[in-house]
Chain A
Amino acid sequence: MKASRNIEEVNWDLLAKVLSDEASASEKAEVEAWAGQPGEHDAVLKSAEETMKKARLYYRSRRFDPAAAWEKIEGDLHASPPVRELKPSHREVPLRRRILQVAASLLLALALGAVGYYAGFRQHEPTVFTEVISNDQQVLRGILLPDGTQVTLNNNSRLTWPRQFSGEVREVSIEGEAFFEVHPDASKPFVITAGDARVKVLGTSFNVCARPGEKTVEVVVETGKVEVTAPRLAQEPGRSLLLLPGEKGVLFQEARQLVKSVNDNPNVTSWKTNELVFEQKKLGDVLKDLEKTYHTEIQLSDPALADLLLTAHFSQQPVEFILEVIRLTFSLELSAQNGQYFLTAAQNHPLKQKP
């Protein structure tokens, strides 16, 4: 019989090893190659995998003894008439699957947008300056400047640079937010104009945020050394700052003040990395980070909720997932409307009674 001949070829010891996670990389490759051959190999592997899984499930289910449990609860099952109504939830797609779908489509849209935009502007190269603008929901990654500097541009931002860095400095301007990884060139400083601030560097990586309409320009340094100057501050002392890794320079444009501090927010570049770290962070600040990272708006119904403290670490999670964790953590209710999220205190909120 053909089928039985096929089975004779099967190395069951090896299959069991692979399926019990005992196999080496080369053994796994061997099984993979074997399963890829024509014939019933793949089906045999699948059924073997299913057998091992089912066997595990069988043993794990046996830990729980329904007969014994039934005896325990039997006395509690009264024949009295029921009181309350219970409505089972409707056919809802489990949250996690829904989130994955959303995340996948979002990523695709983002990628297409970036490529489309990038390819589009490169075709009709402008005469002197090149410009990249990101839209509301775009983060443009891997923008390469002529000197090898890499820029990631956050949403609603505009980066302008000359086609060639011909002068004594490499000069670009930014409106909005960007993360720069400047290609080192000691002979030609890299200078960024951001609002009223000028940021000068030799070779380093840092984040610049200069949103039009915002009162501040913020520069946070990841590596290297950065000089921030505010030419409009004229001769006043303190018109320039030297920033080291982990430091933050803030220019208050109206108050005409340039202030240096230690950056205490680990999420400055979350919009780029999608890594978020919260250590005993107030919910109000958490939501600000989320809004910035995911380009969305989140409202709290009650200002008192903003003082709740969250400790969590999220890596590459969609905003819906994070909000779900927050909702469950603090017993809140979550709703969405017109692209905005609303977090409201559930009725009889236990935290409301806390000091």
Chain B
Amino acid sequence: MDDLTLFGLIREGDREAFKTLFHSWYAPLCHYASHFLNDDEQAEEVVQDFFVRLWEKRATLSVDSSLRHYLFRSVRNHCLNLIRQDKVRQLHAVRLQEALLADNAPEEYTLSPEMMLKIEEGIEALPEKRREIFRLNREQGLKYREIAEKLGISVKTVEAQMGAALRSLREKLRIFIFFSFFTKKGKRE
């Protein structure tokens, strides 16, 4: 189902359609909001609040450009509003400047459900130890040395495991990545 069809259904009050929309965009939007707010919890609040309001306004909603653009734009404005409501006005300019500079394109935060699934499969297929090393690096952003210390192994082992993980995951995603390279160009707003 494409975005506009989905939107048509939501306008008519279709809760299931709204739930679908929510599920596909919740995580990317939270991720995006946390870039602005530097706080996961606050980011989730903003996005949840945004969806509740979206639902309230559903009947008069019109999206004539890109749905994705609309969602990201709205969440961005909510975040900037929140920053403005901060008690310490002095810091606003500094924080707003940081926030605006951290404002990347929506695709930097968005994974298609297919890609999500493929990555999950690829990661599940890794041997347990390798998967843990890869996760610590990609999820927590730990350096090789930190991973080595944490797990009581050598940095060399971390290097080898990361290399092997990259190789096997890239093999799984290869076709999809090239596909998304192609489509990205055409879809760019």
A residues at B contact (CB < 8 Å) = 10-17, 19-20, 22, 46-48, 50-52, 54-64, 66-67, 69-70, 72-73, 76-79, 81-92, 94-96, 278, 280, 309-314, 321, 324-326, 328-329, 331
* Minimum distance in angstroms from B19 CB to a CB of chain A: 6
Contact A89 B144 (CB under 8 A): no
Q: Within 8 Å CB of A92, what residues of B? A: 73
* Closest Cβ neighbor of A10 among chain B residues: B167
Complex Cα distance A20/B84, Å? Answer: 35
Contact B139 A77 (CB under 8 A): no
Complex Cα distance A57/B34, Å? Answer: 13
Q: Within 8 Å CB of B83, what residues of A? A: 328
Contact B100 A96 (CB under 8 A): yes
Map CB proximity to A onto B172-183 as digits: 1 under 8 Å, 0 otherwise.
011001101100
Q: Within 8 Å CB of B30, what residues of A? A: 63-64
Interface of B is mostly: helix
Q: Within 8 Å CB of B84, what residues of A? A: 328-329, 331
Contact A70 B23 (CB under 8 A): yes
Complex Cα distance A48/B47, Å? Answer: 32
Complex Cα distance A313/B91, Å? Answer: 11
Q: Within 8 Å CB of A96, what residues of B? A: 100-101, 103
Q: Within 8 Å CB of B123, what residues of A? A: 55, 58
Q: Within 8 Å CB of A94, what residues of B? A: 103, 105
Q: Within 8 Å CB of A278, what residues of B? A: 93
Q: Within 8 Å CB of A78, what residues of B? A: 55-56
Q: A12-B163, A13-B160, A70-B22 are in contact. Are A54 and B115 (CB under 8 A)?
A: yes
- The answer to the question of B75 belonging to the interface, with a C-beta cut-off of 8 Å to chain A, is no
Complex Cα distance A314/B138, Å? Answer: 32
Known: A81-B59, A89-B73. 13 other contacts (CB 8 A): A13-B160, A17-B159, A51-B177, A54-B115, A58-B119, A73-B52, A84-B60, A85-B60, A91-B65, A280-B90, A325-B93, A329-B96, A331-B84
Contact A328 B92 (CB under 8 A): yes
* Minimum distance in angstroms from A304 CB to a CB of chain B: 16
Of B19, B63, B96, B166, the contact of A52 (CB 8 Å cutoff): B166
Of A19, A50, A64, A325, the contact of B26 (CB 8 Å cutoff): A64
Complex Cα distance A312/B99, Å? Answer: 14
- The answer to the question of B9 belonging to the interface, with a C-beta cut-off of 8 Å to chain A, is no
Contact B144 A20 (CB under 8 A): yes
